[in-house]
Amino acid sequence: MAKFSRGKGRGTPKISTASLPDIIFILLFFFMVVTVMKDSELKVEVNYPYATELQKLEKKSLVSYIYIGVPAQRFRKKYGSAPRIQLNDSFKEVKDLKLFLEQEKSKLREAERGLMTASIRADKDVTMGIVTDVKTELRKIGQLKVNYSSKPRTDDL
């Protein structure tokens, strides 16, 4: 007579780890959605200024970043400590802005090209000289939508 053997499988049952990958995947997707890929390594030091009247930049793909700041410590020997402009991954001059924006624009669809925003990410301690040069160049190129990156400020002036 067939008899089901009991008793053998007793003891503490193993916890099923089959759902663990799912949990981790959910975490992964969460991070993929919430975060942004580091588009370039920062070679200049940028501490954003503080402001209250902030607007959020909606579409990441429509934004081109212009970093302005003092070269990071490891580049000081070569590039000095005067504020410089960084586009993509390298130090650039004001005149390189045109080509850079042209390239950024060519990545977009035709309908979206007019919506491109230039995000000026300048250090709060740079002087207006270099920022003005960038602004003037942007005006000459015709990139008029500009955003000054800043962090939210909560206390009064």
Q: Which residues bind another protein (CB under 8 A)?
A: 17-18, 20-21, 24-25, 27-28, 31-32, 34-38, 49-57, 60, 63, 117, 119, 122-129, 131-132, 135-136, 138-140, 142, 144-152, 156-157
Q: How far is the CB of 148 from another protein (least distance, A)?
A: 5
Nearer to another protein (CB atom), residue 7 or residue 95:
95
Q: How far is the CB of 63 from another protein (least distance, A)?
A: 7
Q: Which residues contact 120 (CB under 8 A, 6 or more apart)?
A: 66, 68, 131, 134, 135, 146, 147, 148, 149
CB burial of 86-120 (b: ≥16 within 10 Å; e: otherwise) equals bbeeebbeeeebeebbeebbeebeeeeeeebbbbb
Q: Amino acid letter at 54?
A: L
Nearer to another protein (CB atom), residue 87 or residue 121:
121
Q: How far is the CB of 1 from another protein (least distance, A)?
A: 25
121 forms beta bridges with 67
Nearer to another protein (CB atom), residue 86 or residue 149:
149
Q: Which residues contact 52 (CB under 8 A, 6 or more apart)?
A: 152, 153
Q: Amino acid letter at 55?
A: Q
Nearer to another protein (CB atom), residue 21 or residue 80:
21
Nearer to another protein (CB atom), residue 87 or residue 138:
138
Residue 82's closest CA among 123, 47, 116?
Answer: 123
Q: How far is the CB of 119 from another protein (least distance, A)?
A: 7
Q: How far is the CB of 106 from another protein (least distance, A)?
A: 22
